[in-house]
């Protein structure tokens, strides 16, 4: 997969892309991520990327010119156009189902906005989808783009090492990315920590019983902490 990011703050992406799974996935050629600075496509002396809104009001709006020029440059860097996505609080809510959908694409072009928003002609002219990561307002789309990248890349074949993917292989409902339920509780050594003991069943060696217990735990925790996930019609969509 190739992911292009268009942003006014390319440096914000350096650290998140340089560690752990995202680092390894790039090194192994599972994903190529290229970050391009929209400001490099300004043509005026002041490298202006935003202006006051027509009709008045507070804040500044991202101008269409530099963004279109940047997009047209980036678009040509690979054969497929892929999915073009604006990160904006007006977008559809991002979730695991959307992450899986995007992970099936050859290419994503993510556009992170700053200021009060994008000139409407950017969305229309680029025929872009819009994604939001939740019902709160961030200072820009950069962190949201990183969330999308993180969630998508870990779903690409080979991105998680053997160990992790085997674990995700699903013992039961509630154990993995494909489940609409919360995860069951996990324990590692020591067997007793500050008086708290690992449940006996996990030490029993009875794999069928353990799978059953984990399934029940998943259901119970979901009922307790995220009952909204169990609402009819929502299974498989959220999480």
Structure-token pair, residue 235: 């299974």
Spatial contact of 122 and 90, defined as CB atoms under 8 Å apart: no
By beta-carbon proximity to ligand 6GU, the closer residue of 138 and 173 is 138
The catalytic position among 69, 89, 129, 150 is: 89
Q: Which of 96, 144, 109, 98 is nearest to 32 (CA)?
A: 109
Using only C-alpha atoms, what is the Rg of the chain?
Answer: 22
Give yes or no: 116 in active site: yes
For residue 89, indicate whether it is catalytic.
yes
> Which is the catalytic residue, given 14, 27, 44, 169?
169
Taking the C-alpha atoms of residue 72 and residue 70, their distance in angstroms, rounded to an integer, is: 6
Query: Tokens 């979901």 identify what position?
Result: 222
Q: What residues between 139 and 198 interact with ligand 6GU by CB under 6 A?
A: 140-141, 144
- Give 175's contacts (C-beta < 8 A, 6+ positions apart): 168, 183, 184, 214, 218
How many chain residues bind ligand 6GU (CB under 6 A)?
13
89: contact with ligand 6GU by CB under 6 A? yes
CB 122 within 8 A of CB 68: yes
User: What's the closest the beta carbon of residue 174 comes to ligand 6GU, in angstroms?
Assistant: 27
37 binds ligand 6GU (CB under 6 A): no
Within 10 angstroms of residue 85's Cβ, the number of other Cβ atoms is 25
**Cα 187 to Cα 32: distance, rounded to the nearest angstrom:** 35
Considering 114, 154, 214, 239, which one is annotated as catalytic? Answer: 154
Closer to ligand 6GU by CB, 62 or 175: give it.
Answer: 62
47-86 mask for ligand 6GU (x: CB under 6 A)? ----------------------------------------
114 is known as an active-site residue: no
What tokens were used for 168?
């995700």
Q: Rounded distance, CA 137 to CA 118, Å?
A: 15
Nearest residue relative to ligand 6GU (C-beta):
144
| Residue 54, CA atoms < 13 Å, CB-side half-sphere | 4
Q: Which of residues 100-139 bind ligand 6GU (CB under 6 A)?
A: 132-134, 136-138
From the list 116, 129, 183, 220, the catalytic residue is 116
C-beta of 4: minimal distance to ligand 6GU in Å? 16
Smallest distance, ligand 6GU to C-beta of residue 228, A: 18
What is residue 91's three-state secondary structure? strand
Is 169 annotated as catalytic? yes
> 215 in helix, strand or coil?
helix
CB 143 within 8 A of CB 85: no
Q: Which of 88, 179, 217, 218 binds ligand 6GU (CB under 6 A)?
A: 88
**Catalytic annotation, residues:** 89, 116, 154, 169
Residue ranges binding ligand 6GU (CB under 6 A): 87-89, 91, 132-134, 136-138, 140-141, 144
């Amino acid at each position: 997969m190739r992911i292009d990011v268009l942003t006014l703050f390319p440096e914000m992406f350096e650290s998140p892309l340089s560690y752990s799974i995202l680092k390894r996935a790039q090194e192994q050629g599972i994903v190529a991520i290229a970050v391009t600075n929209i400001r490099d496509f300004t043509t005026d002396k002041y490298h202006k990327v935003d202006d006051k809104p027509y009709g008045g009001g507070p804040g500044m709006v991202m101008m269409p010119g530099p963004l279109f020029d940047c997009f047209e440059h980036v678009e040509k860097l690979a054969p497929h156009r892929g999915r073009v996505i604006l990160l904006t609080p007006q977008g559809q809510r991002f979730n695991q189902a959307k992450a899986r959908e995007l992970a099936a694409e050859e290419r994503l072009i993510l556009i992170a906005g700053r200021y009060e928003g994008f000139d409407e002609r950017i969305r229309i002219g680029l025929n872009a989808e819009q994604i939001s990561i939740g019902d709160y307002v961030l200072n820009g789309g950069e962190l949201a783009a990183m969330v999308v990248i993180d969630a998508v890349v870990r779903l690409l074949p080979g991105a998680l090492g053997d160990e992790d993917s085997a674990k995700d292989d699903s013992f039961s409902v509630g154990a993995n990315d494909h489940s609409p339920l919360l995860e069951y509780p996990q324990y590692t050594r020591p067997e007793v920590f500050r008086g708290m003991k690992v449940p006996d069943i996990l030490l029993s060696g009875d794999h069928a019983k353990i799978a059953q217990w984990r399934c029940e735990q998943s259901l119970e925790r979901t009922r307790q902490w995220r009952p909204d996930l169990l609402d009819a019609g929502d299974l498989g969509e959220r999480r």
